[in-house]
């Protein structure tokens, strides 16, 4: 047994009093936990030289997360941005479109749209509820107009994000969600899916979209 593992198990035994010593007071444990998380700013990484938007883009487009980003002025510009992406990837002008009013009311021109998604779907276009600047993460909650599978089945996942909904740290999202009605599921997606299980090589699209493209609108 490794020294680290023995240290962890030893701490558990001491806390339970199973090593013959005095059992740790649960109140003391709670107070220690409160001291650790009471001021998350002590542990949050600092990036004071960057805005939330700049940090999110830097993280999302990093070599590890491998997403691409397009910035547009207004949500009305989103269809043109999606069209540019389809052309750049030599994809047909056809998308599985999240059945949310904010997207359905846009002028998609010649791009064919359907609100169901197949198991071999090339492209889906969905909205993200929030983004996390610190980690480059996108937050998706399930609703009647936000089917979860659209975030996981396609080869190409195109996400529409309101620039005003980029939060700085994960704790900022939890603070917002504490008072809200909780959805059936909340998914945090950080970059394209991947695995390095095979000979240590980073393989993209292992258990989800191979390509992620984020269209940020607004300022």
pLDDT in tens, 86-98: 999 999 999 999 9
pLDDT of residue 196: 65
pLDDT of residue 203: 74
CA of 54: how far to CAs of 16, 84, 163, 181, in Å?
47, 22, 10, 30
- As given in the structure block, the two tokens for residue 166 are 């980029």
Question: Which residue segments constitute the domains of the chain, with CATH numbers given?
Answer: 3-38 (no CATH), 52-217 (3.40.50.10420)
pLDDT of residue 62: 95
CB 193 within 8 A of CB 204: yes
Q: How confident is residue 180, by pLDDT bands cut at 50, 70 and 90?
A: confident
Phi and psi at 186, nearest 5°, equal: -130, 125
For residue range 10-38, what is the model confidence (pLDDT) as tens digits?
888 877 777 666 777 878 878 877 777 66
- Helix residue ranges per DSSP H, 17-154: 26-37, 52-60, 78-88, 101-104
* Least confidently predicted of 38-47, 82-91, 94-103, 146-155: 38-47
- The distance of Cα 69 from the centroid of its chain, to the nearest Å, equals 14
Q: Could you give the angle at the alpha carbon of 106 between the alpha carbons of 100 and 108, nearest 5°?
A: 110
Candidates 130, 123, 191; CA nearest to 158 is 123
3-state SS assignment for residue 132? strand
Angstrom distance (rounded) from CA 95 to CA 83? 10
Angstrom distance (rounded) from CA 133 to CA 167? 6
């Amino acid at each position: 047994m490794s020294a680290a593992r023995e240290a962890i198990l030893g701490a558990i035994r001491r806390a339970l009093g199973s090593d013959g010593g005095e059992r740790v007071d649960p109140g003391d444990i709670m107070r220690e936990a409160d001291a650790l998380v009471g001021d998350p700013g002590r542990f949050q990484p600092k990036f004071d030289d960057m805005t939330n938007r700049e940090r999110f883009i830097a993280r999302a487009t990093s070599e590890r997360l491998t997403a691409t980003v397009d910035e547009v002025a207004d949500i009305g510009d989103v269809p043109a941005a999606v069209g540019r992406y389809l052309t750049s990837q030599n994809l047909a002008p056809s998308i599985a479109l999240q059945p949310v009013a904010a997207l359905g009311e846009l002028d998609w021109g010649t791009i064919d749209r359907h609100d169901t998604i197949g198991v071999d779907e090339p492209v889906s276009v969905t909205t993200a509820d929030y983004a996390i600047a610190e980690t480059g993460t996108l937050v998706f909650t399930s609703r009647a107009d936000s089917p979860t599978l659209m975030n996981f089945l396609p080869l190409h996942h195109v996400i529409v994000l309101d620039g005003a909904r980029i939060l700085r740290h994960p704790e900022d999202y939890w603070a917002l969600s504490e008072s809200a009605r909780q959805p059936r599921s909340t998914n945090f997606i950080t970059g394209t899916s991947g695995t390095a299980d095979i000979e240590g090589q980073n393989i993209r699209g292992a258990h989800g979209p191979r390509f992620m493209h984020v269209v940020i609108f607004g300022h």
